[in-house]
Amino acid sequence: MNKSIILISFETISIFFSSIFTFACGFYVLKISHSGSTFGTYLAILAVITTVSSPFLGNLIDRNSNKLILITGQLLSISILFIFFLIYNDEVYTIFLVMVVLVFVDSIVKTTISSNLKFITGDYLEKVVSIRQTIQSSSVLITPLLGGFIVALIDLKYLALINMFTEFVAFLLLLLLNFRSGNITSRNQKFIHSFLDGIKHLISINNLKIIFIINLFINFLCNSLVVGLPIIIINHLNMNAKYLGLAEGTLGGAI
């Protein structure tokens, strides 16, 4: 049970503060550039990184020590946030760079944690899954609201410093957990063969293909709101971060 509590604490700290910083970065991209196309490109790059990296990360996790992967990812997050704090001077490209790294690390953490849930929680798996889902749903609603007020009070570089501290706390919690080691059989398989086998297996399941198509359509509709709403609020209505946070929190709760 103690391990489950540590895991939930780790995810709560990591998700909430990272989400607030992510909200702040999106707001600053629009505020600095005043360009809808730049903001759309920013979101597209982050989405592509998440999508493209997922299958490769799954294979990496199967082959290597999961704890080492997570520790490396957390240290990378802490380092890039500290570098951002030192060099940021209202440039959009620095926001792009820091978010590319953070989104990639976030994919590593989420994929690794998900693949180790049963190993960490044991008999408490169902309870932990339910609590994790509640935390994730709450973050979608709460973090934009908090982010809107916090961004109005604290500069982005200092938000990065705060996020660096919370990531360090999450790193310390991570050290208290045990994770699976790499699979020896997976290590001996060539990556391309393992990847293609996974693709063939997914294609062979008709129900999954239908789910993928439906999800693509739903994501397209939702992302039109995700991209368009901040542009309208910041660029056309000239409202501040508080109103953007309220709007995104309401949208997240509705979706």
pLDDT in tens, 97-108: 999 999 999 888
pLDDT score, position 120: 83
Length of the chain: 255
Domains observed in the chain = 2-254 (1.20.1250.20)
Whose CA is closest to 15, among 123, 119, 137? 137
pLDDT score, position 82: 95
pLDDT band at 209 (very low <50, low <70, confident <90, very high): low
pLDDT in tens, 146-175: 888 888 888 999 999 999 999 999 999 988
Q: Is the dihedral of CA 245, 23, 44, 37 positive or negative?
A: positive
pLDDT score, position 194: 61
- Full-model pTM: 0.80
pLDDT score, position 107: 87
pLDDT in tens, 1-31: 678 888 888 888 888 888 889 888 988 988 8
DSSP three-state, residue 182? coil
Cα gap 234→249, rounded to integer Å? 15
User: For 223-248, what is the mean pLDDT?
Assistant: 65
